[in-house]
Structure 1
């Protein structure tokens, strides 16, 4: 739908620039959303907490389907089974009563550990019901981080998926004495009960704990806006996890901002929406998204927990919204491209022509449903059906989406594709592209109407926020979505929160339409030995557009004059090249072949040349990695951000060998 007349610019200036002096960098003007020109949005009427949001939806329609899951029988998933809002409310009240009955008080820290499922969500809501603090434990952070979070946050009780129970029991001896109660999302074995008892901990099944609460009812203790809702630990790319303190006001402000934006666009979402939950609830992106759909009284269907069965879930659930991270979209892009390439002939020709035709139509300003309806029906409908057939918007977040992947998705999904930007510290919702405004392609869109933004110059990197030609600088945010600090780390808090402004560490550039483009990361900068500054994230974004590769990590340091890269090649493309060029062996063996390395390095540098990278930014040495960078090897965070120190250590031998070889030449 959308407004009849789009504004020329989606931001308004509400504060002047400040010139730098005495070593303090200049600051650009303060901007906010055009939909908040008269003031930032406030909390939803009559609501002080996410508990109020849930109860309001329950009171509107208690019989509405809320949380759905698929029961697995003999390895086969059945249809979605649903708990309605009233049923969830009753279970949550019982869980909250049980927590209080065992002696846990309001404001205590409650751990939740496991894949997304109704029990995860209900444990979280039980925290809200009793003014307790939900402390998610990342499903992929590993033993040491889980132990660290339990100890650092002083967790009193932990709700745990049955597949993670043994891991926690094995770690219990290393956890502080406050953790005395474990609750399984389902059941437990006699051996697990014995192991818990031996360490002085009580272990309950889900049904036992619900029954305990039903027999020992406690009054609700609803939170206020300023009460802490969650301490969400970010895995980070270096050092120990940091506990981000988020209040109920922070989360409600994020919800209010998104809701106001959609209503202002005349594209409101409502209780008829169906959301597919598979991104980790332990991450702020999914947590806020799910809170938003609960606020609307919509339905949330959970995945089976198997990435290979996502399309199966989507076909059964038929969601109206599909939200994912770039890594998932990269896989979708690679999978479709691979199948089309294999099909060849008329199918490939028709797909390629339709892709080109619709892309041009979109960039000419036509909306997604008017751009190429013939090709939507004939060619791209299969992709639409693979997402369930009812998706009306596709959203990417948590990390930048490659430009060519964004273009591809805009064409093949038959729905508007938008990407957003936010951090755990800003409660996720900070910027989002405006649907069907194609000028925002490659950006993260304008700010949502719940924050104000300014850029701050980084002169050592030649980014100037007060430049008349191109305003660039570190993105700084203020507003009611901002966290209050890092738990027990005032030193780290003081580094990033100054006078109400949060310094994100990301470098942005304003575009004419008021959208923001992320162009760099302040800290991922280094000098080469010849004195040239290199911004590796920007280079990775550019080189990552090379269709010959799926992933890339660029490395250099101040003692070397050249850049190296570790690349994960696109397997179908490299194997096809190998077959045509007499290179034999399996994929791993092909990756070790010097001719294959030279081929990929040439393709990557050709992309760089096309994008006009500087000579010193070219890749001069390369390692081909047959396996994707993964969490299991600690090479990426759970949201697939590169962990640079760990990558450096993992590939140290190859890096040293390449640099040593270059010095001999």
Structure 2
């Protein structure tokens, strides 16, 4: 309920529905009509600026169905108030009253009428172009057209001839109202357009017939446009004074109101209006078109958004709810529909509006007009914040950084100064048109003692949200899947809305109309949002993420928001404007920079490209940007600024990306070529391989026995059966290659030793080195057949949410187990462990747990070992078994009972070994996967479908795959039989194929996690000592050297704890989205060059790893093969041949979908100094234990 209004002088009762006056300067000071008319009054200072303030409800209740009639009632209700003001030549703000705006708008209608009187018929579409900078004559034209029912089409005054011709082709006008400086452009555009329409074949006969009549052009700033006829006014004034001489001096209040009701001018306007309104206010039906507004075209060609009378009326019938007085400052062009609607809403509320003279005078004019609210795009507020930042930096130069008290005083003084920049009546500041930078938004909140509003809306849908909250309960909102960007409803997706303010359609653009609406009639805004519940209000809110068209992708699959980056970089004192270019062809950004000449000149700064690049890098670090978000090269634009006039900015100040890209096409391509050349040069290998000629005198038997470290060499058994693991066998293969120049196929290392000896002796006698020997036959087709016994065996009810986990003793598996322990809803984790029994398996698993978390010190999030032990003993259930055995070695009843208790399967277990052939790895890796599928199908509680999460490997991608350098998550390595060189990769390929087949044949829910390179834990620094990376880093530490040409290789190392966090977060928070994916890639999008790893190890440690030319490193390696050098097992890898890790072809897993699904809930860390210090600490611990 509204408060009772009481006279401040006589305390007269409720004045809500009676005539009363309120002070603009002191809104609580109210006078009834009698007290206001009193000649003497003690509060004269308040009386001088009073407004007739009838309650708005009176006006609201009298609104009609006609827009023209509503405008009329508004002007008549508030006739005596100041309405619209402009700054004169002396920069004083001069207002016109509502009555004068009304009258002069009717004069415009009277002027237009003769030109279109024959076209004013029900259903007619008579277009009128209006093109001018904001001025009061623009308002006359707006309302003059509205009174006559003409369709107003705003055209920005900076439009070029091509754009005008495009508008002519869609909405050919009968009248053009334009400012004098752009009339010539319209005349030329009309001429060119009409000539193009003439059919050349009939030019002579029908030229005049085919040419459309030339529109009438009225110049908006000519003396007769909307001006009061002075001769008529003078004559009326003379008659009035002669007939009413006694009126002079009567009415003491005539100077107290903005407009004196007894003046000759006022009475003259009232008399004229009575006649004009009867003739020139024409009612139109709700279905007829009211106006067409063309979009800015910042992301493509402008589209004509049209509104019917009904929709426009609904948009405008919203009163401003801010307290009295209502004073606004308009700077944005009236060609924006939101600006025009805002103007009408203010007038409906009885407010006053000051029109800006231009952006150069904005801050000065804001201080003069003292608005109660100000709305602008983020770029305007960014500009204010940048100026504040500039003033702060200048102040800091004077006082220095050491005196904290003076710094604080400077901040307080500047904030106080800036808090008055928008005047002293401010009730709110609102940003609209684009997402605002967080730092700018924080600056506004800290500086201005009023409401700070972040609003969202669009030309098509009107105002929708303020500070994430839905403004109007009648607005219907839903999210739909945005598959290309990986956003899925109901929590994330493209924002779609229904509202009574919805636009009526795109003019002559059926394609856009179809694309812009869902089948059930929701408008697709083109913005990505997140639906969240406000805990305080218990209402749904929308958090804006970004515009779909503003999100661009680099070649490595990561998404970039250039608009955001531009806002960040423009905070630099050296940069005025910046355009960041994004291309999916490249993995880096380039930019065009416009310098801040004022700052640079005032400080006599010598500018270079390197200086600007360094500035961008520093800003990137300060704002925690990723390295790929900082441009690698720039072009400095020294001649122009981006502006509306040169078509680089939209009318709302947004960058026209397509126009910028087109204008600087040559410069941008040069920048890309320049960086590509630098990358190619830096990664080019300059070292050749050395041929090894050393040979030994030992027998093959002795060599094998020594390497295996066994007392007796049983030749009927394989090296594998005699205790050799993959590293041992790799050592053997390297030794034979090194000393005998014999390449031994992997499968022979797992065959009986007598066959291996025979092979070597044959090679020595033949003196041949055939390296292209098959590793043994792999029967893919047979292994891809499911057994017919996959059937559902029994039925029972679930008891608890239970997880089945394989590979729990492995590096990733133990960290995944830890994450599962922390999830409250998980009550039982069944771990498959190769053990003698339950107790043995549990002890084995706990020992592995302690080994992996040996350095764990943090206590946050229940990370301490004591709490972990409690969770472990409560939740972990050991299943003794083996992946190689049928049903894991369990009997049918036990297998079936287990299946019926499960809710989810994580199949991590595998024999991870790059040396074993397919035949050795088939049991655990292929047959084990078949048993997992059988386990899922045996469950009847979940209708035979236990969801499966399966970890695969990058090794399933053949080295000759065409997409190997940017392998997408949708890419398929299964389309053809693989040409894989490792048994591990082969078994994983077959397993993926089995799972894909199971999805199709049994409709299973399956997600494949394809893993690249797993690195140490960010908490403990622990890295599996059998891991390839661990071994070579251990070797480099041992040798205190690293080959120089390895340093530029890139690694996508993902910490093991992050892997586990990602898998559990998505599995438990986004199961629906997960199983929509074919595969997700577990890889780090932030690539790391190998030299950064080495630098991280050297920094602050005593490892002393030095760079060596390849030849010198290889020589040092050769000389250390008889020592404990861990690299001796990988001796053959450091050669210039196809097995050389230095020259291996780049393999890169795209992680686009993964990153989008995570939506920053799990942060993927860079491998920075903190992580490397953790790893260095652990490796020191490892080496000290190794010595013991």
Under TM normalisation by the shorter chain, which class is it?
A: 0.7 to 0.9
- Does the alignment pair 1:232 with 2:245? no
Are residue 503 (structure 1) and residue 527 (structure 2) matched?
no
Q: Distance in 2 between matches of 1:65 and 1:271?
A: 14
Deviation string 1:566-596 (CA, Å, 9 cap, x unpaired) is: 34455677679x86xxx62xxxxx1xx1431
| Residue among 324, 327, 335 paired with 1:282 | 335
Q: Secondary structure at the match of 1:405?
A: helix
Structure 2 residue aligned with 1:562: 588
Matched, 1:241 2:302: yes
526 and 317 in structure 1: CA distance in 2 versus 1, 3 angstrom threshold = closer
- The change in CA–CA distance for 1:92 and 1:350 in structure 2 (over 3 A counts) is farther
Partner SS, residue 419 of structure 1 = strand
Say whether 1:481 aligns with 2:501. yes
Cα drift, residue 484 of structure 1: 1.3
C-alpha displacement of 1:600: 2.1
- Where structure 2 has 5 or more consecutive residues not aligned to the other structure, the ranges are 3-58, 195-211, 233-271, 535-539, 679-1188
Contact 2:105 2:139 in 1 (8 A): no
Aligned to 2:631: 619
Partner of 1:63: 80
**1:650 matched residue in structure 2:** 663
In structure 1, what is the Cα distance between the partners aligned to 2:598 and 2:110?
Answer: 55
Name the count of aligned residue pairs: 548
Structure 1 residue 618: deviation in Å? 4.8
1:662 Cα deviation (Å)? 2.4
2:420 corresponds in structure 1 to 385
Structure-2 separation of matches of 1:208 and 1:111? 23
Summarize the Cα distance change of 1:412–1:527 in structure 2 as closer, same or farther, 3 Å threshold: closer
Partner in structure 1 of residue 126 of structure 2: 108
Equivalence map 1:151-230=2 (5 Å): 151-174=169-192, 177-187=212-222, 205-207=225-227, 218-230=279-291
Separation of aligned partners in 2, 1:291 and 1:178: 33
CA distance in 2, matches of 1:636, 1:185: 25
| Aligned mates of 1:561, 1:379 — CA distance in 2 | 41
Superposed displacement of residue 515, structure 1: 3.9
Q: Is the 8 A contact 1:186 1:207 kept in 2?
A: no
State the alpha-carbon separation in 2 of the partners of residues 326 and 210 from structure 1: 44
CA distance in 1 between partners of 2:570 and 2:541 (Å): 22
Find the counterpart in structure 2 of residue 366 from structure 1: none
Task: Report the Cα offset of residue 530 of structure 1.
Answer: 3.8
CA distance in 1 between partners of 2:481 and 2:567 (Å): 22
Deviation at 1:111, TM superposition (A): 1.2
C-alpha separation between the residues in 2 aligned to 1:115 and 1:632? Answer: 12
2:149 corresponds in structure 1 to 131
Q: Which residue of 1 aligns with 2:322?
A: 269
Q: Describe the shift of the 1:415–1:250 C-alpha distance in structure 2 as closer, same or farther (beyond 3 A).
A: same
Contact kept? 1:569, 1:600, Cα under 8 Å: no
Conserved 8 A contact 2:298-2:654? yes
Q: Which runs of 5+ in 1 are unaligned?
A: 3-42, 189-203, 263-267, 357-374, 434-443, 585-589
Provide closer, same or farther for how the CA distance between residues 449 and 566 of structure 1 changes in structure 2, counting only shifts above 3 A.
Answer: farther
Q: What is the TM-score normalised by the length of structure 1?
A: 0.74
Q: Does 1:331 align with 2:344?
A: no
Partner residue in 2 for 1:404 = 439
Measure, in 2, the Cα distance between the counterparts of 1:529 and 1:307: 39
Aligned mate of 1:601, from 605, 612, 616: 616
Aligned to 2:383, the other structure's residue is in SS state helix
| 1:144 maps to which of 159, 162, 180 | 162
Query: 1:370-449 alignment to 2 at 5 Å?
Result: 380-427=415-462, 429-433=463-467, 444-449=468-473
Instruction: Determine the C-alpha separation between the residues in 2 that align with 1:347 and 1:159.
Output: 57
Give how far 1:430 is off: 1.6
Cα deviation digits, residues 310-361 of structure 1 (max 9, x gap): 23323332222222222222221122222232233569967963798xxxxx
**What's the CA shift for 1:245?**
0.3
Match of 2:1019 in 1: none
- 1-side partners of 2:559 and 2:365: how far apart? 47
Greater CA drift, 403-412 or 337-346? 337-346
- Give yes or no for contact 1:229–1:248 (8 Å, CA) kept in 2: yes
Contact in 2 for aligned 1:116/1:303 (Cα 8 Å): yes
8 A Cα contact 2:293 2:305, kept in partner: yes
After TM superposition, the structure 1 stretch with the greater mean CA deviation from structure 2, 531-540 or 80-89, is: 531-540
Query: What CA RMSD, in Å, does the superposition of the two structures yield over aligned residues?
Result: 3.5
Check the 8 A contact 1:420/1:445 in 2, yes or no: no
Structure 2: distance between partners of 1:570 and 1:219: 52
Change (3 A) 1:354 1:240: same
Is the alpha carbon distance of 1:207 and 1:320 closer, same or farther for their aligned partners in structure 2, counting shifts above 3 Å?
A: same
Question: More strand per residue: 1 or 2?
Answer: 1
Q: What is the alpha-carbon distance in structure 2 between the residues aligned to residue 480 and residue 324 of structure 1?
A: 25
Deviations 1:472-530 (A, max 9, x none): 21111111111111111112111102332111111112344344332222234444334
Mapped contact 1:92–1:125 kept (Cα < 8 A): yes
Determine if contact 2:66/2:284 at 8 Å carries over to the other structure: yes
Paired position in structure 1 for 2:1105: none
Mapped to 2, the partners of 1:390 and 1:299 lie a distance apart of: 13
Q: Distance in 2 between matches of 1:622 and 1:346?
A: 34
Q: Where in structure 2 are the equivalents of 1:13-52 lying within 5 Å? A: 46-52=63-69
Alignment check: 8 A CA contact 1:227 1:247 kept: yes
In 2, the alpha carbon distance for the partners of 1:351 and 1:232 equals 52
**Cα gap change, 1:211 to 1:170, in 2 (>3 Å):** farther
CA drift at 1:115: 1.1
Structural mapping, 1:511-526, within 5 Å: 511-513=532-534, 514-526=540-552
Structure of higher RCO (CA pairs closer than 8 Å, 6+ residues apart): 1
Secondary structure in structure 2 of the residue aligned to 1:425: coil
Asked if the contact 1:485/1:493 (under 8 Å) is kept, the reply is: yes
- Tell me what 2:852 maps to: none
Q: Does the Cα contact within 8 Å between 1:623 and 1:654 map onto a contact in 2?
A: yes
Query: SS state of the match for residue 586, structure 2?
Result: coil
Q: CA deviation at 1:550?
A: 4.9
Is 1:302 the counterpart of 2:361? The answer is no
C-alpha deviation, 1:239, in angstroms:
4.6
Q: Is the 8 A contact 1:525 1:534 kept in 2?
A: yes
| Aligned mates of 2:333, 2:103 — CA distance in 1 | 25
The answer to whether the 8 Å contact 1:275/1:322 transfers is: yes
CA distance in 2, matches of 1:147, 1:140: 14
Q: What does the per-residue CA deviation read over 1:18-73, in whole Å, with 9 as the maximum and x for residues that have no partner? A: xxxxxxxxxxxxxxxxxxxxxxxxx965343543442232232211111222332x
